Homo-oligomer: A and B are copies of this chain.
Amino acid sequence: MELTVYLAGQIHDNWRDILKNEASDLNLPLTFVGPMENHDRSDNIGEEILGKQPNNIFKDEAASAINNLRTEILMNKSDVVIALFGDKYKQWNTAMDASRAIEKGKPLILVRPETLHHPLKELSNKAQVVVETPQQALQALSYVFS
Contact = CB atoms under 8 A, between A and B. Distances in A.
Contact of A144 (B74, B93, B118, B122): B74
Contacts of A73: 3, 79-80, 107, 144
A24 B93 CA distance: 33
Interface in A46-96: 48-50, 54-58, 60-61, 63-74, 76-77, 79-80, 85, 89-93, 95-96
Contacts of A72: 107, 128
A122 B96 contact: yes
A95 B119 CA distance: 12
A20 interface: no
A68 B123 CA distance: 9
10 contacts: A56-B118, A57-B114, A60-B117, A64-B125, A66-B129, A68-B126, A69-B107, A69-B140, A71-B122, A92-B123
